[in-house]
């Protein structure tokens, strides 16, 4: 996803839901990418919410074998390439998100997390 400047969502069993989840983002929304069970692995800024696409299984950009086919363009600001270095949200008083997309209400700690991701991402 990083090389294609995209974020993804699953919902292969409900394509309309995957589309709704990604199309609710607005210009300049900050998205923190999480890897389930690992933590935060990067963040980026939404530039064009209308860039949503739904790939078909087997498309050249389908590198996950039919999983996470819903895509949206993002301008990555920081990326942690190694899951072993993912940042646990508790480090900043936050919790791991349950839904695919949710707002972080504690904006101050969310900003601390993105600052930390930027520093950590630049070291790798």
- Domain annotation covers residue 55: yes
Other beta carbons less than 10 A from residue 28's beta carbon: 9
pLDDT confidence of residue 111: 94
Query: Nearest 5 degrees, angle CA 114-CA 85-CA 18?
Result: 65
- Domain annotation covers residue 1: no
Residue 39 phi, psi (nearest 5): 135, -165
Q: Model-level pTM?
A: 0.85
Provide the number of structural domains found in the chain. 1
**Is residue 15 predicted with pLDDT exceeding 90?**
no
- Domain annotation covers residue 102: yes
What's the domain range around 10? 6-123
- Domain annotation covers residue 97: yes
pLDDT band at 124, cuts 50/70/90? Answer: low
**Is residue 121 predicted with pLDDT exceeding 90?**
no
- Domain annotation covers residue 63: yes
**Is residue 122 predicted with pLDDT exceeding 80?**
no
Tell me: the pLDDT tens digits for 40-88?
999 999 999 999 999 989 899 888 888 889 999 999 999 998 999 999 9
């Amino acid at each position: 996803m990083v090389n294609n400047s995209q974020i993804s969502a699953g919902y292969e069993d409900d394509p309309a839901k995957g589309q709704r989840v990604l199309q609710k983002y607005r210009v300049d929304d900050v998205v923190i990418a999480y890897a389930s069970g690992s933590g935060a692995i990067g963040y980026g800024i939404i530039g064009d919410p209308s860039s949503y696409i739904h790939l078909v299984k087997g498309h050249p950009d389908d590198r996950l074998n039919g999983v996470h086919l819903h895509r949206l363009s993002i301008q990555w600001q920081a990326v942690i390439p190694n899951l072993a270095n993912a940042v646990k949200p508790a480090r900043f008083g936050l919790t791991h998100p349950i839904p695919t997309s949710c707002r972080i209400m504690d904006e101050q700690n969310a900003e601390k997390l993105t600052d930390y991701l930027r520093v950590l991402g630049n070291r790798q």
